[in-house]
Amino acid sequence: MQKISGHRVWLIISGIMAALMLLCVACSSTPKATDGSEAQGKDEKNAPLYYDFDDVLVPRDLKLNTKSSFVYHTSGLTAGVLVFTSKVERSSLIQFFENNMAKDNWQGVSSFKSPRTLLIFQKENRWCVINVTDHNWDTLVEIWAAPFGGQSGSGLLK
């Protein structure tokens, strides 16, 4: 019987852990159709999706960049950033988010519109900031979600 060195065991364990982490990231970023079932097939070809933030609807035309995204899950809390790229025009994306965030009970707080547009939304215990930026060949969309512990409607100035 051949003995395995400690270094080799460590490499094998590290490889297994890395594979498990990649699998977990892939599973956690699986989009869900708007009815809550897994998104699949041609039936829902154009239907928007929910990703890790189950109250932020995302156009299906956006492609998730898993390397730039980070989502923190714990019981009762999901926070982080989802990063997408798309060929969809910035104005169409802005209109989509302004219309659909209200359907998920988000209240628009403010917006800054330019080639880089920020849309800021609030719920009773969360903030969501959506950054839509034009690039040379595509449009970048960042969706930031964070818990909110302060008083609602307190504003930026006191």
Domain 50-147 listed as CATH 3.10.28? no
pLDDT over threshold 50, residue 41: no
Q: How far apart are alpha carbons 91 and 47 in whole angstroms?
A: 19
Map residue 97 onto helix, strand or coil. Answer: helix
Q: Which pLDDT tens digit goes with each residue over 62-121? A: 999 999 999 998 888 889 999 999 999 899 999 999 999 999 999 999 999 888 999 999
Give me the pLDDT at residue 38, please: 45
User: Do 39 and 32 contact (CB within 8 A), yes or no?
Assistant: yes
Band of the pLDDT at 59, cuts 50, 70, 90?
A: very high
Domain chopping of the chain, boundaries:
50-147
Query: pLDDT by residue (tens digit) across 125-143?
Result: 899 999 999 888 899 999 9
- pTM for this predicted structure: 0.68
